[in-house]
Structure 1
Amino acid sequence: MDTLRAEHLGSGREAKHWPKPTLPEYAFIGRSNVGKSSLVNMLVGINKLARVSGTPGKTRNVEHFKVKAVMPSAVEAWMLADLPGYGFAKTSQAERATWKKMIDTYLLERENLQCVFVLIDVRLEPQKNDLDMIQWLGENGIAFVLVFTKADKLKQPAIVSNVALFKRTMKKTWDTLPTMFITSAESRKGREDLLEFIEGVNATWAGASS
């Protein structure tokens, strides 16, 4: 699944503006400026598919993308959703409330959502808003994995140490830890692991068609 084709399907804040839920779908969520759009681009191999900005808070809608394997597999196509980042203070309370309602509606009601990729900046100690999001997903029975980003910014011992700290923090409230990936949009680290995971989930999808 190394060679992929992808297209931007649209941008919207309400379900009526989102693509029909006819394909398996994966959502990217995380703190503002954690690298969601960069990871989308790295994953599909197209540098400018998702808009990347150095300014936090630029993604304001649910951005949908369709991805298709050049070589057909059990499921040829799926969708990615890039969600607005959380934890960005420089927005109004009303705007943050609008984002929260949109994200909650998407995560709770998007019927074809297979898994949420929660992006974590590997350089940072565990952040409360990340832990709160993980807890909320668990409480609502929404499947998720953790994707540590920006691994190119640290040496390997620091990555191992920071991920271990995150695991210890989660073990205080979680009996079983989720699947975790280490990635870098810059070096493409973790790309094949993520694609293999998606391919495995796609294989269980019963209603997809290309």
Structure 2
Amino acid sequence: MAAPNPLARAQYLLAAHNFRQLPPDGGFEVAFAGRSNAGKSSALNALCQQNALARVSKTPGRTQQLVFFEIPPSTDRFLVDLPGYGYAKVPQDLQAHWQAFLDGYFGSRQALRGLVVVMDIRHPLKDYDRQMLRYAVERGLPAHALLTKADKLSRGAQGNALLAVRKELSSAYGDTVSVQTFSGESKLGVEEARAVVARWLEL
């Protein structure tokens, strides 16, 4: 029998647009980052075995807050959905606000235990992805890269992409960033990713 999924009870708690709106800085948080249309919402939904926990948006860049999901019965375990930008047409003042908010969040948030960076396996390691990984590495936090939409590639192409990304991450960050293939559609790699997140949250 499969072990029960500790993330399955996750539920929406709040969305924060600035520091004052963040929950108290205690407990354990795992943040999820990904460019627009990288498959971050689908990945969160697959990990939590819920269809609509994180809204899957057809409009890139819709997430404009830090969205906190609580994992009952504990009141101090959270998944945090970070705003995803890529080709989202975001005004410069909003970009500056987010840059400052994320700088502060990654620089000072004690509850943060790890970062999952979601990348489309066909277009990995864009500037946004590298910036997010740098945030984690500079803080000494573990990071885990999910190469999503792997079902769109043949098994051989998946393996080649995984090797290429692993090689680049290893040379840039040593062993602080792990990487795997993933598909919310076919459920490839879901249990592996869930185990990483659950370990960081000590669930």
TM-score (norm 2): 0.86
Question: SS where residue 104 of structure 1 aligns?
Answer: helix
Report how many residues are paired.
Answer: 199
2:21 to 17, 22, 25: 17
1:36 to 14, 35, 40: 40
Measured at CA, do residues 177 and 111 of structure 1 come closer, stay the same or move farther in structure 2, by a change above 3 Å?
A: closer
Measured at CA, do residues 50 and 180 of structure 1 come closer, stay the same or move farther in structure 2, by a change above 3 Å?
A: same
Please give the residue correspondences for 1:173-184 in structure 2 after superposition, counting only pairs within 5 Å. 173-176=172-175, 178-184=177-183
Alpha-carbon distance, 1:76 to partner: 8.9
Contact 1:25–1:113 (8 Å) recurs in 2: yes
Alpha-carbon distance, 1:105 to partner: 1.8
Question: SS where residue 135 of structure 1 aligns?
Answer: helix
Contact 2:162–2:180 (8 Å) recurs in 1: no
1:46 to 47, 50, 64: 50
Distance 2:23 2:176 in 1: 32
Distance 2:69 2:176 in 1: 29
Distance 1:187 1:181 in 2: 14
Distance 1:76 1:156 in 2: 40
Distance 1:158 1:96 in 2: 35
Distance 2:201 2:61 in 1: 31
TM-score (norm 1): 0.84
Contact 2:106–2:135 (8 Å) recurs in 1: no
Select between 55-64 and 81-90 the one with higher mean Cα deviation. 81-90
Aligned Cα root-mean-square deviation (Å):
2.3
In the other structure, the counterpart of 2:115 is 116
Alpha-carbon distance, 1:28 to partner: 0.2
Question: SS where residue 173 of structure 2 aligns?
Answer: coil
Contact 1:167–1:177 (8 Å) recurs in 2: no
Distance 2:201 2:134 in 1: 25
Contact 1:24–1:202 (8 Å) recurs in 2: yes
Cα shift readout 1:53-93 (whole Å, capped 9, x = no counterpart): 02111000000001237xxxxx7972100000133351121
The one-letter code of the counterpart of 1:149 is T
**Structure 1 runs not aligned, ≥5 long:** 70-74, 206-210
Distance 1:148 1:131 in 2: 14
Identity of aligned residues (%): 32
Cα shift readout 1:133-180 (whole Å, capped 9, x = no counterpart): 323432332331111111121111111111212223334433336221
Measured at CA, do residues 56 and 123 of structure 1 come closer, stay the same or move farther in structure 2, by a change above 3 Å?
A: same
**Structure 2 runs not aligned, ≥5 long:** none
1:6 aligns with 2:10: yes
